[in-house]
Structure 1
Amino acid sequence: MSITLEQLSAKMRQGEQVPLQQTAQIVLTLSIPSILQQIVVTAMEYIDAAMVGHIGASATASIGIVSSSTWLLHGMLAGLYMSFSIQVAQYLGADRQEDARGVLRQSMLFNLFVGLAAAAFGIGISRYLPGWLGADPALQADASAYFAIWAASLPFAMAMGTYSSMLRSTGDALTPGLISVLTCILDAIFNYVLINPTRTILLAGHSITVFGFGWGVPGAALGTALSNVVGGLLALALLLFRDGVLCIRRPGSWRITKACLQNLWKVGAPLAAERAALSSAQVLLVRIVSGLGTTAIAANSLGVSAESLCYMAGYGVQDASLAMVGQAVGAHRRDMAKRIAWLCTGMGMAIMALTGVGLYVFAPALMGIFTADAAVIALGAQVLRIEAFAEPMFGASIVASGAMQGAGDSTGCFVLNLVSMWGIRLTLAVLLAPRFGLVGVWFAMCAELCTRGALFLLRLARGKWLDKGALA
């Protein structure tokens, strides 16, 4: 008999033993829509990259040079707003629905003020950022424009991320998945029109004129920004007008509470620090790659996009892990939290092992989707085949970190990621890049991800990640 996450939470609060089959069914129910969402998101990223890639390697490199900075800024904000969804999951697990809605209201205020401040900051530094990253002068104008336009949409991207993760915390993975699918489809449509000029195409033997603005790299940024605006407004509208445990039309206070601020500091600050540590390391890696030439920059950027084919499944399972472990901890069921964490982690490792095989076999074909440049394809396929060996352990780190974060142990995740990324990946990349080029950088990545996965599995086995207990 199938059950929902809400029913599972009720059983956990009552101290019942939930059969493994029912737990696995809920994991799949939450994971499958998230994985399908990741597939669509990845497909649309492929389309975006292919649209830009066929303009030329310089266009790809212009976006690639600032991509790690977009990860840094958005990653820090995502770390903060994820703490709100963790609070919601734990409060729902404890059957504190009014407290969960209070967190939602406070997150809206947070998104408004912090999102606007982040957008202003991003626009302010966009003129200087490519130069700081060592970009070739010929790339700097497009790179600056891309980052400024992308930064302007941050308040809406934050809204979509926050409210979608909260819906998943309630057990509704389908709705945020559909929002993301719509956003990605709009992104592809907007980009197609904004990147390319007006042109004539042959369709079924007939010549058809297709309108386009021909804005190139800035057009790609604007397409992404517009789709973020639609996604953020749609997620907000659902919470405003749809009934459910998080419906904010129900009476409640908008007052900022001490408990929410304490939880934001306890969980959100380490999450933001973790994202900052990972993304700032990526910025430095891009700085290393930028000295290897335009071909290496393009191959690195497109290789990262291609690799997302593997880890999208891991992040889909991570969503289920965070929501379910959060509710188990809120219900004060350590035994169920452990079972769910191991079940999700094993599933993530198995799926990513299979996709790693696919990455190795189809590496040249994947690179060929993005660009026609033979040199970029050859180098990108070479580094992807190195990375394929790390995918199972990468899956372990992704899913196990979601379980630990759901339990409130974001500090432990921060420490493990900091040690592996800065102590292993960056150190090896600095040593190997001068002699082996981009291949050396990706070998460093592979070694670091394997080590990171082992560290997370060790912490998961020791069980100290559950010592944080339920949030205030």
Structure 2
Amino acid sequence: MAPKSVNVLGLGRSPVHTVILLAWPAIIEQIMLTLVGYVDTAMVGAIGAQATAAVGVTTSTMWLINGLFSAFGVGFSVQVAQCIGAEDYEGCRQAIRQSVLSVLGFGALTTLVCQLIGGQLPLWLGAPPEVAREAGAYFRILTSVMVLHMGSAVFSAILRCSGDTKTPMLLNILTNVMNIILNTLFIFEPSVHHTPFGSFTLPGLGMGVRGAAIASAISMGTVGLLLLLTTFLRKGEAHIDFHQNWRPDPLVWRLALRFGLPVAFERVTVSCGQIIFTMMVTHLGTVALAAHTLANTAESISYLPAVGISFAATTLVGQAKGAENRDMAFQFGKIVTKMGIVMGVMMFALLFFGARGLVGIFTRDLAVIALGAGALRIEALVQPLQNCEIVLAGAMRGGGDARFQFYVGLVCMWGVRLPVAFLMAFVFDLGLYGIWCGMAADIAMRGVLNLWRFYSGRWYGALH
């Protein structure tokens, strides 16, 4: 049966139970999304540091693209949540229809731009020629399905804000199964394996980095297509079909810009900073770039529970705001803050004490493992603040306050991370550790600012 849009404010036996019911599928979904990158990095890492660097050099650019897609998701999904809370189901349907138009238009434009710049992008980012060739091919293949990839980001956000967190979770599990099977086929040469029951041969095309890109593109494209179909097949008051009005709606787009444009500015600001950040790392050499890539991949697990909780917070606070229930909106925000702190303490322990093991999943290069583990331990120190920042950003976006996150991103990336990273890495000669000191300082400041914003109460009336 296709999923149905629901008002989720009273979904659980208590507010905490309600958050957990919405959050756990979103957490699993984020783990599944991240595992796509994990699997690619781990499998490519078996080839060598140069292959790892080729996958990692355009990562910051993909973060920029994903950030823009997320901005569209926020712009339309917050409207969906608030319309459901207010029981305005025609407004909900109109927002979903406009989101489909945005995916078709902006997704196609993104694909075109990425294909035009893909060959030169790694060189612009400072990659050595032997890395840049494979990195450019990887980026072009990966961005060939941007319409479907954008659809995955936008429609997942809409489904979550309409109370369905399980469908995106299940589809992303499917993505990972596909990605592992296809990676095995595309990356490696055919190999013979011996068991007590006999020998067998695993087929392989031996395409290396390009094979990883093809596998990921097929997997990402498939989940995007399935989420688009789910958007049309869902039941209930928010159902859409081809016979409804599909003309552009200026009111919906104005609201989408109000909610989404600050998110886009924030992601562009942060991601442009990330690109400069990556350029700093490339100047430290291939080993440092490989260690940075692997440490970033390992570190990404630390905030997955917080991201899942933040999606639940956006849905709950958005629907509470639509129902004009201020007390409930604040209650959900306080609950997710406490959950974020608990998760942050747990992730500190994981990253600090398990650093070598986490980086060692992806490579056997001892120099890369040692450097990446040291960077991870620096990041571990700010995990409680990072998790608070993430869950509160989701809660406040649900209430319509996305503009503050842009200011936070601007100040912390350009006023804290980049200056501190440059000073520590190149003036005090701490290399990659200095780079990660800048990252940790940025994250700590974001956490402090978001805690202040939420408890000041200014976020709730930000649009009035």
Q: What TM-score, normalized by structure 1, do the two folds share?
A: 0.94
Quick one: structure 1 residues 242 and 262, their matched pair in 2 at CA, closer, same or farther if it must change by over 3 Å?
A: closer
Matches within 5 A, 1:32-431: 32-249=24-241, 252-431=244-423
Q: Could you say which residue in structure 1 is the equivalent of 2:437?
A: 443
Distance 1:288 1:438 in 2: 9
Structure 1 counterpart of 2:454: 460
Change (3 A) 1:345 1:310: same
Structure 1 counterpart of 2:23: 31
Shift in Å at residue 100 of structure 1? 0.6
TM-superposed CA distance for 1:7, in Å, is 5.3
Which residue of 2 is the match for residue 14 of structure 1?
Answer: none
Q: Are the structure 2 counterparts of residues 117 and 42 from structure 1 closer, same or farther at C-alpha, using a change threshold of 3 Å? A: closer
Deviates more, 1:230-239 or 1:245-254: 245-254
> One-letter code of the match for 2:309?
V
- Structure 1: how far apart are the matches of 2:243 and 2:454? 40
Contact in 1 for aligned 2:68/2:268 (Cα 8 Å): yes
Which sits farther off after the overlay, 77-86 or 422-431? 77-86
1:81-111 CA-to-partner distances (Å, cap 9, x unmatched) read 3211111111111111111111111111110
Q: Which amino acid aligns with 2:121?
A: L
Say if 2:145 and 2:217, in contact at 8 Å, map to a contact too: yes
Q: Percent identity at matched positions?
A: 38
AA matched with 2:406: F
SS of the aligned residue for 1:212 comes to coil
**Matched residue pairs, number?**
459
Q: State how far apart, in whole Å, the 1-side matches of 2:188 and 2:392 are.
A: 42
For residues 246 and 202 of structure 1, what CA distance do their matches in structure 2 show? 54
Task: Tell me, yes or no, if the aligned pair for 1:111 and 1:158 is still in contact at 8 Å.
Answer: yes
Amino acid at match of 1:168: R
- Structure 1: segments with no counterpart, 5+ residues: 12-17
Alignment deviations for residues 276-323 of structure 1 (CA, whole Å, 9 cap, x no partner): 111111111100000001110000000011011211111010110011
Kept in 2, the 8 Å contact 1:314–1:349? The answer is no
Counterpart code for 1:387: E
Q: Please report how far the alpha carbon of residue 44 of structure 1 lies from its aligned counterpart in structure 2 after TM superposition.
A: 4.0
Cα shift at 1:251: 5.9
After TM superposition, give the deviation of residue 68 of structure 1 in Å.
0.5
Cα distance in 2 for residues equivalent to 1:123 and 1:378: 36
User: Match of 1:15?
Assistant: none
CA displacement, residues 166-193 of structure 1 (integer Å, 9 cap, x when unaligned)? 1111111111111111112211211121
State the TM-score, normalized to the length of structure 2: 0.95
Q: What is the CA–CA distance in structure 1 between the aligned matches of 2:229 and 2:325, rounded to whole Å? A: 34
Shift of 1:76: 1.6
Q: Residue 251 and residue 335 in structure 1: after superposition, are their counterparts in 2 closer, same or farther (change >3 A)?
A: farther
Deviation at 1:73, TM superposition (A): 1.9
36-45 or 251-260, which deviates more: 36-45
Residues 91 and 99 in structure 1, CA contact (< 8 A), matched pair in contact too? yes
Compared CA separation, residues 250 and 145, structure 1 to 2 (3 A): closer
CA drift of 1:204 comes to: 3.8
Query: Take 1:301 and 1:180, find their aligned partners in 2: how far apart are those partners?
Result: 23
CA deviation after TM superposition for structure 1 residue 339, in Å: 1.1
| Contact kept? 1:329, 1:469, Cα under 8 Å | no
The 2-side partners of 1:204 and 1:469 are apart by 67
- 1:347 and 1:5 map into 2 onto residues whose CA distance is 26
Task: Give 5+ residue unaligned stretches, structure 2.
Answer: none
Moved more, 336-345 or 32-41: 32-41
**Could you give the per-residue CA deviations for residues 380-401 of structure 1, whole angstroms, max 9, x where no partner exists?**
1111111111111000110111
CA distance, structure 2, for counterparts of residue 148 and residue 254 of structure 1: 32
- Root-mean-square deviation (CA), in Å? 1.8
CA distance in 1, matches of 2:333, 2:376: 29
3-state secondary structure, aligned to 1:386: helix
Say if 1:200 and 1:8 are closer, same or farther in 2 by CA, change over 3 A.
closer
Check 1:234–1:218 CA distance in 2 against 1; reply closer, same or farther (3 A cut). Answer: same
SS at match of 2:193: strand
Secondary structure of 1:153's partner? helix
User: Segments of 4+ in structure 1 off by > 6 A?
Assistant: none
Q: 1:171 to 1:299 in 2, by over 3 A?
A: same
Distance 2:234 2:84 in 1: 18
Query: Residues 337 and 469 of structure 1: is their aligned pair in 2 closer, same or farther, counting only changes over 3 Å?
Result: farther
**Change in 2 beyond 3 A, CA 1:249/1:142:** same
CA contact (8 A) 1:98 1:252 kept: no
